[in-house]
């Protein structure tokens, strides 16, 4: 089969690599345009762009896929199917209908739960016990298409978004490769998504990142691990008379109690609105990530200190 691959971040790279390794003819790769980064504002190509270049695949990064010119160019690849993994641009009807076998999307949730941009973050922040990856046939709606294949995995109590991202990234690559094999045999069937249980995984906004110590310990723990390592849940404290922002990268539920946001001692143990949480790994603004013990050796926070 002739395949057009469409993806942008690191999450999509194993799927591209697996498709190439299994001998499919990837005739073109679509990705987001290079971003301006660094002090010199040099162009930084996407992870998929870098991988495709190594494979010798032609790379395209249009700003939009709307319009007849974009559709005609897409059709010129004469692809049998398009594979889409975290691409980042909306595919209009003219693109969705171009490949004879359709456009297959790899999505990191158990649809219809967590349709949208940040399914892994949202599942963990909500305290979900299970997640997975699904191969679906794309429609014009947001992640509304029928599902062809699915793999389910548990979310461990202390797992972070970063850890689940890496697990689902590899699981999804294998699932999509199996989906393409079934599609080539004519044996990939699709089941419409359930009408019940639809939730939306909105993009993470920076305003959500600050820790609210008045929430329950369980909610604070889920918030921390759901935003770890990026963008990172954070609090403010005073160190040497100056306010300092501190990201929390790892935490655990703990015993104890007190006024919410109060440091209880025994490392970085903090009271919440209901229960207590132990902060295990943190990152002071402008510094490297470190254990709570390393942080306290430099910060010297006293028991009873208030974290904001």
> How do residues 175-208 score in pLDDT, each as one tens digit?
999 999 999 999 999 999 999 999 999 999 999 9
Q: In this predicted model, what pLDDT tens digit does every residue of 250-266 receive, in sequence order? A: 999 999 989 999 999 78
Q: Percentages helix, strand, coil for the chain, rounded to the nearest 5?
A: 30, 30, 40
Task: Report pLDDT for 40.
Answer: 63
Which residue carries 């691990």 as its tokens?
Answer: 225
Q: In this predicted model, what pLDDT tens digit does every residue of 97-128 receive, in sequence order? A: 999 999 999 999 999 999 999 999 999 999 99
- Cα torsion angle, 256, 260, 264, 268, sign: positive
For the chain, domains (ranges, CATH) are 2-200 (3.40.50.170), 206-299 (3.10.25.10)
| 257 Cβ neighbours under 8 A, 6+ residues apart | 271, 275, 276
Contacts by residues 96-103 (CB-CB < 8 Å, ≥ 24 positions apart): 96/138, 96/139, 96/140, 98/71, 98/74, 99/4, 101/1, 101/183, 102/137, 102/138, 103/6, 103/137, 103/138
Task: Report pLDDT for 241.
Answer: 84
CA angle 222, 211, 209 (to 5 degrees): 85
């Amino acid at each position: 089969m002739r395949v057009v691959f469409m993806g942008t971040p690191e999450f999509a790279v194993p799927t591209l690599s697996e498709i190439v390794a299994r001998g499919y003819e990837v005739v073109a790769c679509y990705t987001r345009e290079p971003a301006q980064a660094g002090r010199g504002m040099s162009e930084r190509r996407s992870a998929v762009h870098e991988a495709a270049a190594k494979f010798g695949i032609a790379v395209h990064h249009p700003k939009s896929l709307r319009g007849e010119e974009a559709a005609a160019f897409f059709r010129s690849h004469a692809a049998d199917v398009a594979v889409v993994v975290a691409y980042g641009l909306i595919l209009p009807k003219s693109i969705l209908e171009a490949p004879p076998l359709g456009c297959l999307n790899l999505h990191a949730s158990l649809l219809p739960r967590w349709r949208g941009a940040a399914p892994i973050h949202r599942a963990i922040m909500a305290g979900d016990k299970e997640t997975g990856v699904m191969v679906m046939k794309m429609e014009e709606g947001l992640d509304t298409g029928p599902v062809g294949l699915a793999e389910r995995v548990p979310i461990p109590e202390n797992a972070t978004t970063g850890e689940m991202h890496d697990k689902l990234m590899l699981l999804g690559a294998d699932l999509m490769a199996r989906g393409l094999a079934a599609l080539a045999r004519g044996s990939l069937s699709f089941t419409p998504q359930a009408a019940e249980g639809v939730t939306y995984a909105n993009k993470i906004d920076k305003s959500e990142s600050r820790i609210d110590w008045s929430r329950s310990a369980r909610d604070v723990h889920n918030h921390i691990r759901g935003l770890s390592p990026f963008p990172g849940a954070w609090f403010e404290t005073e160190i040497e008379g100056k306010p300092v922002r501190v990201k929390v990268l790892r935490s655990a539920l703990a015993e104890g109690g007190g006024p919410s946001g109060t440091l209880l001692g025994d490392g970085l143990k903090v009271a919440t609105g209901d229960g207590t949480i132990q902060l295990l790994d943190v990152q002071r603004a402008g510094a490297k990530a470190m254990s709570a013990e390393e942080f306290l050796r430099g910060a010297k926070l006293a028991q009873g200190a208030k974290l904001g």
